Amino acid sequence: MDWITWPIFSVYLLALILMLFKGRRRILGVKIHTIIVGLIMLAALGIAVSLFHDSSDVLKLYF
């Protein structure tokens, strides 16, 4: 499961770098503020998925 933690930290790093720009600026028509919010939500989803994967596959717990 630990392989997924580095992409999560990379997503956070990308969000931190994007935070250097003004939130109103746009990349491909999307506000930077919206992109950062999406990235943090994506990382939260990554944590939840990896937790579920760890619980179901490794310990044979099925919800």
Binding site residues, other proteins, CB under 8 A: 1-2, 5, 8-9, 12, 15-16, 19, 23, 33, 36-37, 40-41, 43-44, 46-48, 50-51, 54-55
Separation between Cα atoms, residue 46 and residue 56, nearest integer Å = 15
Minimum separation from the CB atom of position 46 to other proteins (A)? 8
% helix, strand, coil for the chain, step of 5: 70, 5, 25
Separation between Cα atoms, residue 14 and residue 1, nearest integer Å = 22
Minimum separation from the CB atom of position 28 to other proteins (A)? 20
Residue 20 vs 28, nearer CB to other proteins: 20
